């Protein structure tokens, strides 16, 4: 009797997993589709002025591959670049000036804000300084872009045309991340896939929808929308600053858009698993608002949705339970099928699709590690700087 009950429970778990995947396939904003690219756009009669703000901390290794692409932007209006050297120790600021002299192109100003005060993440303090420098030029738009992002020559032109045509206050593109090493192939496409699952792009651009997100590597922001939303002061604590920015703008009545990029690429390498692990774990628990309850739910959810299907298939076959094997196999098939478009977008072999449960298990471990580091008092660390825990910041304030 007990054995029968256990088998019945396993069958039900496998069935629930399949139901979950069918729901994700059809009801989660078609997150798995990769055709959300820059919306229809027309060139404006008069091109608005733009200031580009680039926060940079110890970026000498990537600047030669990224900064020249900004200097060479083919933009008909007035545009100026402000690179904010956020306390670099590798000569980032001087290298930026050297590249500007070598390549010419758009005017570049390099400045430094000094160390951030308590309550500010370093990147947002640098962004604040850059916006302050730009404000004197009275630009209509700000382009916030990371130092590791290389833009196609018409990137700014296309962003502004899309913003003007669609009436968007934020137009953001998720840069195509590098996928060359084995670990990058396993982890990077899944990173974007999971992000889209949490924040379906189609919902973000819909007026009235609550979903809000942006990709920090490429954010075109109307200056007046930034002022209404008090960017970046209103989000100065944020570790995941791009999502916080989008929420603040949307909360202030702004219209935002996010999609995948065609010619906006990250040149930052993540050759080892350790590098990717740090990238994810530094902010994973912040994504869960440092909530043990949300952490528990996330771990259980990842296990149910991603780990149960292959286990149910293999366990069902081993135990002779056809129903368990069928439910598990179908769930695994749907999972792999939803991953195929992202692999195609990243030009990766489709045999990686069935390995998504393994990658999801890695993300589960990274998320747990993020929580462990938080409770050890380490906070979120990035480029040699550790950000205080939110409760510690509150105590200081």
pLDDT of residue 121: 82
Residue 252 CB neighbours (<10 A): 16
Residue 146 falls within a domain, yes or no? yes
Residue 219 included in any domain: yes
The C-alpha torsion from 179 through 198 and 365 to 189, rounded to 10°, is -10
Task: Tell me whether residue 38 is in a domain.
Answer: no
Specify the pLDDT at position 299.
97
Mean pLDDT in order along the chain per 10 residues (397 residues):
65 96 98 96 96 97 98 97 95 97 97 88 91 96 98 98 97 97 97 97 93 95 97 92 95 97 96 94 90 96 98 95 96 98 98 98 97 80 57 35
Q: Are residues 102 and 190 in the same domain?
A: yes
Query: 241 with 346, same domain?
Result: no
Indicate the residue among 205, 240, 270 that finishes a domain.
270
Residue 386 lies in a domain: no
Angle formed by the axes of helices 322-345 and 308-319, to 10°? Answer: 150
228 shares its domain with 260: yes
pTM of the model: 0.93
Domain termination site, one of 235, 250, 270 = 270
User: In this structure, are 181 and 329 located in the same domain?
Assistant: no
Q: Do 307 and 237 lie in a common domain?
A: no
> CA–CA separation, 105 vs 156, rounded Å?
14
Query: Rounded to an integer, what is the distance from CA 248 to the centroid of its chain?
Result: 16
241 and 340 inside one domain: no
In a domain, 393, yes or no: no
- Share of the chain residues as helix, strand and coil, in percent rounded to the nearest 5: 55, 15, 30
**Structural domain total, the chain:** 2
Inside any domain, residue 136: yes
Instruction: Tell me if 390 is assigned to some domain.
Output: no
Domain co-membership, 127 together with 221: yes
Please identify, among 251, 270, 289, the residue that sits at the C-terminal boundary of a domain: 270
298, 312: one domain:
yes
Residues 204 and 288 in one domain: no
Q: What is the pLDDT of residue 249?
A: 97
What single string gives the DSSP state of each residue in 323-387? HHHHHHHHHHHHHHHHHHHHHHHTT--GGGGGGHHHHHHHHHHHHHHHHHHHHTT--EEETTEEE
**Residue 233 DSSP class:** G
| Confidence at residue 6, expressed as pLDDT on a 0 to 100 scale | 61
> Are 266 and 189 within one domain?
yes
Provide the pLDDT for residue 395: 32
Which CATH number does the domain housing residue 63 bear? 3.90.550.10
91 and 124 housed in the same domain: yes
Same domain for 331 and 190, yes or no, is no
Q: Report the pLDDT value the prediction gives residue 396, as an integer from 0 to 100.
A: 32
Give domain status of residue 109, yes or no: yes
What is the extent of the structural domain holding 302?
A: 9-32+276-372
């Amino acid at each position: 009797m007990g054995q029968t009950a256990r088998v019945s429970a396993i069958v039900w778990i496998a069935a629930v997993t399949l139901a979950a995947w069918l729901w994700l396939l059809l009801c989660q904003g078609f997150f798995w589709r990769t055709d959300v690219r820059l919306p229809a756009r027309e060139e404006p009669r008069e091109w608005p002025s733009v200031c580009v703000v680039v926060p940079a901390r110890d970026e000498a290794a990537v600047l030669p591959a990224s900064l020249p692409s900004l200097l060479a932007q083919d933009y008909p209006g007035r545009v100026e670049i402000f690179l904010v050297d956020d306390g670099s120790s590798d000569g980032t600021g001087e290298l930026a000036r050297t590249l500007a002299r070598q390549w010419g192109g758009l005017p570049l100003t390099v400045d430094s804000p000094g160390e951030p005060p308590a309550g500010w993440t370093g990147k947002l303090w640098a962004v604040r300084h850059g916006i302050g420098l730009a404000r004197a030029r009275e630009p209509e738009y700000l382009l916030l872009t990371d130092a590791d992002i290389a833009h196609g020559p018409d990137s700014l032109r296309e962003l502004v045309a899309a913003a003007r045509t669609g009436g968007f206050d934020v137009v953001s593109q998720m840069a195509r991340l590098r996928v060359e090493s084995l670990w990058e192939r396993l982890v990077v496409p899944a990173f974007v896939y999971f992000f889209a699952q949490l924040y379906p792009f189609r919902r973000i651009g819909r007026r009235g929808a609550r979903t809000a997100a942006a990709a920090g590597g490429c954010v075109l922001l109307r200056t007046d929308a930034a002022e209404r939303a008090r960017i970046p002061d209103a989000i100065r604590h944020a570790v995941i600053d791009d999502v916080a920015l989008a929420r603040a703008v949307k909360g202030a009545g702004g219209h935002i858009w996010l999609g995948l990029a065609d010619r906006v690429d990250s040149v930052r390498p993540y050759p080892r698993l350790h590098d990717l692990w740090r990238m994810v774990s530094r902010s994973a628990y912040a994504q869960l608002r440092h909530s043990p309850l949300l952490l528990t739910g996330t771990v259980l959810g990842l296990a149910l949705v991603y780990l149960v299907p292959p286990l149910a298939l293999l366990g069902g076959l081993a135990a002779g339970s056809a129903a368990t094997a069928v439910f598990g196999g179908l769930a695994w098939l749907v999972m792999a099928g939803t991953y195929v478009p992202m692999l195609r977008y990243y030009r990766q072999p489709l045999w990686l699709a069935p390995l998504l449960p393994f990658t999801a298990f890695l993300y589960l471990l990274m998320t747990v590690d993020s929580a462990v580091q938080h409770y050890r008092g380490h906070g979120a660390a990035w480029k040699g700087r550790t950000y205080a825990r939110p409760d510690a910041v509150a105590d200081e304030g």
